[in-house]
Chain A
Amino acid sequence: MGLILTEDQLILRDMAKSFVDEKSPVERMRALRDSRDETGFSRELWKEMGELGWIGIPFPESVGGADMGYGELGIVLAECGRVLAPEPFLSTVLLGGNAVLLGGSEPLQKELLPDVCSGDRILCLAFQERGRFAPYAVETSATRDGDGFRIRGAKQFVLDGQAADQIVTLARTAGASGDRAGLSLFVVDADARGLSVEPAELLDGRKAARITFDDVAVDGARVLGGIDGGAEVLDAVFDRATIGLCAEMLGSFEEAFERTLEYLKTREQFGVKIGTFQALRHRAAHMFSELEFARSVVRDAQSAVDDGREDVAQCASAAKARCSEVANLIGGEAIQMHGGIGMTDEEEIGLFFKRLKAAELTLGDAIYHRNRFAGLRGY
């Protein structure tokens, strides 16, 4: 796969674009937010996306998927990003779904993934215990109990935890917080005894839950990857999820940038269009160059996964380091260039600004990913 879209991918993009424009304009996301709906997204729309085959894009046909790649998934995600659709690709496909796909036994995959692909099952990944992204900083413990385990601890910021049927849970089976070794992943049912899920609203209108585990029992057959070896699976899941998130961000970048550009071309002050001011023209041109850079590194990361390249981790960090910076730049400039109107809740550009901040800080910011990239490069 190259850095540009193939003919088939261009067709998929046009389809996805007309679908989200018709079914999910930005007002829909706003209405969902304002209704304080418990689910946080539309189950009906999610199932429609399932019927179109989009949820199943990265999953094999044997579990009901479409067996396509991150190039295709990225196209759909970018279109969702363009209209700020809050449907649970990140939680259900990229995080939870990937954990089951990359670490689950065949029976477990057959049990869970067909309903994921159809849109009937929502998954989430409960990994975070503090704010700054630190994937191995895990204190939640899983201790052996007969054939199974008992989980104790608390997780923060579990995206779509409020709606999930299964919670893929990262827990420590050995070692100390911060160790890469000694981590294990478990599939926990949302109705398990001892589990409490408290939903919260986020600044971008999406939802995440605080989940506490009070001696929650889980069967030994519901482990993803090996006991103590969960980090292998986790790293691969995060790389793919990061690449997917970056694709969604790209769609939001494009839309926020286009809207800002349009504003520069139409808004008048001092009797002229504000886009005639060089102070704004230069910043717009610089933003454009960053947008092009983001597009290139995201496409490269997608092909790294799809071509089975060995540098997926480097590419994922290269993409997220760039996209996190660009989120700040385009989001910040979008508000600044819109001026006072950009500060109002009524103007949609603020919704993009907030979504971009959320995406920037999700799965590691630019500093995190530059550090990781440096490590992978041997310094």
Chain B
Amino acid sequence: MSSASIEEFRQEVRSWIEKTLPPELRVGNRKDLPRDSLRKWLKALAERAWIVPDWPVEYGGAGLDRKHAAIVKAELAAVRAPIVRGFGVSMLGPTLLEFGTDEQKQEFLPPIARNEMSWCQGYSEPGAGSDLASLQTRAVRDGDEYVITGQKIWTTSADTADWIFCLVRTDPDAPKHDGISFILFPMRQPGIEVSPLTLIDGSADFSQVFFDGARAQARHVIGPVNGGWTVAKRLLQHERSTDGGSEGGITGAMKETLVDVVKREVGLENGVLADPAIRQRLAAQELEARALGLTMRRALEEARAGQTARDIGSLGKYRWANMVKGEQDIAMLALGTQGLGWSGPGFEDTQLERTRAWLTTRADSIWGGTNEIQLNVIAKRVLRIPE
């Protein structure tokens, strides 16, 4: 591909975004975006197949190679365009592309690519957190179907999702990793009850999900029956690589940058932060974000050049979690008691936002594999220290 045609493509993408994306949406993936305008934009994005530019055309993607797909993503990011980042696009889709049969891909990928089918993830259970493979939700074969009984927890968007991808035990007698299957079924059916969980930050995006005789089609098992653990781990890798790669994380969506918060709350004297200890912490925090971003970029360059096949996912998730939490820790130090408001007068929106973000981000070193699990994975798989 010549650099001229690459440049031409970039111009094409840029001018399409310029004419399609209304200015009020150019603020990133915020929760308070105007609904109609957002719906119209995502529909336009879906029509160009740019929700998943690198998926094959037959499955609803734009069929772009990595270079061109990267241009689409970069141009969207450059103007902070809202994009679709759900479980379907970022986790299930790539997993289906790898493990799904052609029929399964035909059935599920196109609606995901068009943002018409939303998903939730049925992994954790009350008794299966870090030790995920000890999960107990049962699936019993009944003709062409499976009957599902059990309970999931920490299910994001369970109340709104159309479908669930779920880990279920199909062989209770096999060793724990060998009796698990990865199965898809619709959320709106009898035998499924969703009960929202309110978290320490006041949000209720997570739910507990109870299955009592819910039904799944046998043809919707992804990968071999009882071979779901491999599929499940691969999907987690997609989850981890999404985190490490999203340099800004929650940061990118905040109303005010950390530097601005600290400058305002702590104050400058002769252009230097008035508190030298906070100044050190802030610089260390910026250096952390910078090093993480560069490390993820380097891993990408290495993979492209075929230099290593190192798995950087766990490292990225571990350091990303610390980085994201560290940012809110510093914001809270800078805010002092102005960081303790919950509602009512006396607190600015930007201050309240930081308080909630500080609470929300405590979860980042827990979900998707705790920090301790990530360190286990690095020690075992990357450093190859015998257990």
Contact = CB atoms under 8 A, between A and B. Distances in A.
B279 A273 contact: no
Contacts, number: 117
B385 A3 contact: no
B263 interface: yes
A281 B379 contact: yes
B379 A296 contact: no
Interface in B372-387: 372, 374-376, 378-380, 382-383, 385-387
A375 interface: yes
Contacts of A375: 272
Interface stretch (A76-84, A95-103, A287-295): A287-295
B301 A371 contact: no
B291 A379 contact: no
Contacts of B292: 293
A370 B279 CA distance: 8
Most chain A Cβ neighbours within 10 Å, of B279, B294, B297: B294
A261 to B, nearest CB: 6
Contact of B382 (A288, A294, A299): A288
A371 B268 contact: no
Interface in A234-264: 261, 264
A322 B301 contact: no
Nearest to B291: A293
B282 interface: yes
A371 B286 CA distance: 12
B290 interface: yes
B40 interface: no
A374 B385 contact: no
B283 A370 contact: yes
A343 interface: no
Given A371-B283, A379-B259, A297 B290 contact: yes
Contacts of B279: 370-371, 374, 379
Given A379-B259, A379-B263, A373 B291 contact: no
A5 B372 CA distance: 32
Given A265-B386, A297-B294, A370 B287 contact: yes
A149 B213 CA distance: 94
Interface in B273-314: 273, 276, 279-280, 282-284, 286-287, 290-292, 294-295, 297-298, 301-302, 305, 307, 312
A288 B301 contact: no
Interface residues of B, number: 42
A318 B287 contact: yes
Main secondary structure of the interface of B (DSSP, over half): helix
Interface residues of A, number: 38
Contacts of B273: 374, 379
A261 B383 contact: yes
A276 interface: yes
B282 A374 contact: yes
Interface string A267-310: 00000010110100110111011001111110110000000000
A370 B259 contact: no
Contacts of A374: 272-273, 279-280, 282-283
A296 B294 contact: yes
Contacts of B148: none
Given A296-B294, A379-B259, A261 B385 contact: yes
Given A3-B301, A4-B305, A296 B295 contact: yes
Contacts of B382: 285, 288
B294 A286 contact: no
A292 B283 contact: no
A261 B297 CA distance: 26
Contacts of A289: 315, 318-319, 378
A148 interface: no
B92 interface: no
Nearest to A273: B386
Nearest to B305: A4
A367 interface: yes
B45 interface: no
B262 interface: yes
A234 to B, nearest CB: 22
Contact of A379 (B262, B315, B374, B385): B262
B291 A286 contact: no
Given A288-B315, A289-B315, A282 B283 contact: no
Contacts of A281: 375-376, 379-380, 385
A3 B283 contact: no
Contacts of B272: 374-375, 379
A370 B290 contact: no
A23 interface: no
Contact of A288 (B268, B297, B378, B380): B378
A321 interface: yes
Contacts of A339: none
Interface of A: 2-5, 261, 264-265, 273, 275-276, 278, 281-282, 284-286, 288-289, 292-297, 299-300, 318, 321-322, 367, 370-371, 373-375, 377-379
Interface of B: 259, 262-263, 268, 271-273, 276, 279-280, 282-284, 286-287, 290-292, 294-295, 297-298, 301-302, 305, 307, 312, 315, 318-319, 372, 374-376, 378-380, 382-383, 385-387
13 contacts: A3-B294, A3-B298, A265-B385, A278-B376, A286-B375, A293-B294, A293-B319, A296-B295, A299-B294, A371-B283, A374-B282, A377-B283, A379-B279
Closest 5 CB pairs of A and B: A285-B378, A281-B379, A296-B294, A3-B298, A370-B283
Given A299-B294, A373-B283, 10 more contacts: A4-B305, A275-B385, A282-B375, A285-B318, A289-B319, A293-B292, A321-B283, A373-B286, A379-B263, A379-B268
